Amino acid sequence: MSEPRWAIVSGAAGSIGSATAAALRAAGYRTLGLDVAGPPTGVAFDAFVTADVGSFSADEAAGRAITAQILDYIGDALVAALVNNAATQRL
């Protein structure tokens, strides 16, 4: 039995991110979505982490916590695709 191929998609709650995740799932990938807004309705993910990926560089502890959540889902499985679709907003 082969290992699952994981795809991680940031900005997954938006229209581009959710469409990308859906296409990757249709292609046989297991998908993990990341977004500060939480999971979108009507889009299936194998896993979802609600997080601000912008905090990776600003706050080491937050980055470690987000990474731990991701690893809780995928373990040591291969991440075959990474789509960085996250947008930053400064108000």
Specify the higher pLDDT residue, 5 or 53: 5
What predicted TM-score, i.e. pTM, was given to this entire model?
Answer: 0.87
- Over residues 16-50, the pLDDT tens digits come to 999 999 999 999 999 999 999 999 888 899 999 99
Rounded CA separation 83/21 (Å) = 9
pLDDT in the model for residue 31: 97
3-class DSSP assignment, residue 29: coil
Coarse DSSP helix, strand, coil percentages of the chain, rounded to the nearest 5 percent: 35, 25, 45
pLDDT tens figures, 51-76: 988 777 788 898 899 999 999 999 99
User: Hey, what are 76's tokens?
Assistant: 């040591």
